[in-house]
A and B are shown apart, each in its own frame.
Chain A
């Protein structure tokens, strides 16, 4: 064996196992989803008829290509239900991400400016909910938001409303759930950037006569943009495909792609259509995912100490 070949084999020794594992169980499955999304549904086990038969040989490929009718995708375009679900997903994801940025920024800012000794505790307080069951945290809101729930009891007790307000099973409940569940994902990347921000720059701006607001707008905000972008992507991508929150807190009218995919799969047992929805969802989030990967790679390659940029 040549020395170079051996050296390159040795370099592959560490990455080989995780690389092969992720290719087999994360990369390859997407190819299968695309393949099934082109199949026809059938009353069988598994419930689809394959269009592509890998053993058929090259000659059969012409037939396969000719037989492709993209029926499932045409269904998605033709039925307004799916278009609605797609638009709702985008609207909810964009709205929730914006709301998260507005709510999360002041929190991250206060954390970064808190006394040094408190900061590990504050970070831990932000991280703990992330470790606590997502399902349970969403479920906790049902008891609060339902018509005879704690929020309505409080509102009526305070005399603010006379009759219970309908919140559960509305888009507002979904928004509350999204902001609640994804808040740490927005706050932590923002905090990481704000904490390392050179305060001297803000002080210099203030000394030069900038108002608090002007110093924030021209110095702090632009410098914290990488954290804001990372947080926004970390929220936007999973929210687009979110299932649990719209299912438990949303009404029947809050159809999102994740929920439609789930019901096509589990209730209608239409695996090809569910796959087609997955491909569409994937296309929607592919761009943000690549952006996120780039942002993370850049962050990790930056040296830990010294200039934050």
Chain B
């Protein structure tokens, strides 16, 4: 087996350093005692202690979690249905349309998705707020769920499904007792992905949100524009920690599913 060129290893090491360096610096400086964000003045957790007293911040964190939970649940249901519908050679009218609609939102610039949904809600006279963000997030995250579940369905051993059917199980029973347990890890991973994508979204939420529904990224963005502060570093570190735990959970689940 030919060994990769040493330059390729250097590229990999540099690439990982490039990806993780800025995040690690941010985490490190969230423990900085000084208010000056680029001068190290000793270890401190004072910025974390101040976070809980920041009422608006805690409120928007709660809104974000609620939106993420509701939209990820919806997205998981719809995305799993889409993946099952698109699995294999199943024929139905509108199949090419569904394929297109599942892939387009993943790459669509967020400003377009956000603006177009807002204009739809305004046109229909729907008041903007919590639920419009949920609908908007479910719409773009369901595509990611569909792709994750579809990937798992492709690896499924068809013989198991055929065996269950041959033994007289009705299609619904086959789904409940064979298909669903086998794809469950991917469905949960899809839910977690949808959850984090929703938690992370600034652009779409800014368009479709209304009074009283300010998400954490929206609040962070308004502060970030004013400059770097240790408080933002502290919130960011907490978010990164939460997401890392979710990713770890998801990867353990997917690994067990294999």
The stretch of B43-51, B54-62, B159-167, B195-203 in contact with A is B195-203
Task: Please pick, from A14, A106, A135, the residue contacting B11 in the complex, using a CB distance under 8 A.
Answer: A106
Tell me the minimal C-beta distance from B14 to chain A in angstroms. Answer: 8
Whether B18 and A180, one on each chain, are in contact in the complex, defined by CB atoms closer than 8 angstroms, is yes
The interface residues of chain A lying within 8 Å CB-to-CB of B94 are 12, 15, 19
Tell me the minimal C-beta distance from A153 to chain B in angstroms. Answer: 7
B25 interfacial contact with A, CB 8 Å: yes
For chain B, what secondary structure do more than half of its interface residues adopt (helix, strand, loop), or is it mixed? helix
Whether A243 and B85, one on each chain, are in contact in the complex, defined by CB atoms closer than 8 angstroms, is no
Whether B203 and A243, one on each chain, are in contact in the complex, defined by CB atoms closer than 8 angstroms, is yes
The stretch of A61-69, A70-78, A155-163, A281-289 in contact with B is A281-289
Whether A289 and B115, one on each chain, are in contact in the complex, defined by CB atoms closer than 8 angstroms, is no
For chain A, what secondary structure do more than half of its interface residues adopt (helix, strand, loop), or is it mixed? helix
The interface residues of chain A lying within 8 Å CB-to-CB of B20 are 125, 129
Task: Please pick, from A12, A274, A278, A296, the residue contacting B103 in the complex, using a CB distance under 8 A.
Answer: A296
Q: Which of chain A's residues 94-137 have a Cβ closer than 8 Å to chain B?
A: 103-104, 106-107, 109-111, 113-114, 120, 122, 124-129, 131-137
Interface 0/1 of B87-111, CB less than 8 Å to A: 0001111110111111111011111
Cα–Cα, bound, A5→B243 (Å)? 47
Q: Tell me the nearest residue of chain A to B77, going by C-beta.
A: A17
The interface residues of chain A lying within 8 Å CB-to-CB of B107 are 233-234, 237-238, 285, 288-289, 292
Cα–Cα, bound, A109→B3 (Å)? 11
Cα–Cα, bound, A238→B196 (Å)? 19
Question: Which has the most chain A C-beta neighbours within 10 Å: B102, B155, B239?
Answer: B102
Whether A36 and B82, one on each chain, are in contact in the complex, defined by CB atoms closer than 8 angstroms, is no
Cα–Cα, bound, A266→B79 (Å)? 32
Q: Tell me the nearest residue of chain A to B78, going by C-beta.
A: A18
**B residues lining the A interface (CB < 8 Å):** 1-5, 7-9, 11-12, 15-16, 18-20, 22-23, 25-26, 29, 37-38, 77-79, 81-82, 84-86, 90-95, 97-105, 107-113, 115-117, 119-120, 122-123, 135-136, 138-139, 142, 146, 150, 154-155, 193, 196, 199-200, 202-203, 206-207, 217, 220-221, 224-225, 227-228, 232, 236, 239-240, 243-244, 246-247, 251, 255
Tell me the minimal C-beta distance from B34 to chain A in angstroms. Answer: 13
Task: Please pick, from B112, B193, B244, the residue contacting A282 in the complex, using a CB distance under 8 A.
Answer: B112
A142 interfacial contact with B, CB 8 Å: yes
Q: Would you give 24 A-B contacts (Cβ < 8 Å), ordered by A?
A: A11-B91, A18-B79, A18-B98, A21-B78, A22-B102, A26-B104, A29-B113, A107-B15, A113-B4, A114-B12, A122-B12, A127-B247, A129-B23, A131-B196, A131-B246, A132-B23, A135-B221, A137-B22, A180-B18, A199-B1, A212-B5, A240-B109, A266-B206, A278-B115
The interface residues of chain A lying within 8 Å CB-to-CB of B77 are 17
Whether A278 and B111, one on each chain, are in contact in the complex, defined by CB atoms closer than 8 angstroms, is yes
Q: Tell me the nearest residue of chain B to A30, going by C-beta.
A: B116
Cα–Cα, bound, A12→B19 (Å)? 44
Whether A32 and B247, one on each chain, are in contact in the complex, defined by CB atoms closer than 8 angstroms, is no
The stretch of A79-87, A143-151, A221-229 in contact with B is A143-151
Tell me the minimal C-beta distance from A228 to chain B in angstroms. Answer: 16
Cα–Cα, bound, A53→B227 (Å)? 46
A208 interfacial contact with B, CB 8 Å: no
Cα–Cα, bound, A31→B79 (Å)? 24
Cα–Cα, bound, A202→B1 (Å)? 10
Task: Please pick, from A19, A29, A106, A297, the residue contacting B8 in the complex, using a CB distance under 8 A.
Answer: A106
Cα–Cα, bound, A111→B97 (Å)? 35
The interface residues of chain A lying within 8 Å CB-to-CB of B239 are 132-133, 136
Cα–Cα, bound, A157→B176 (Å)? 64
Tell me the minimal C-beta distance from B252 to chain A in angstroms. Answer: 11
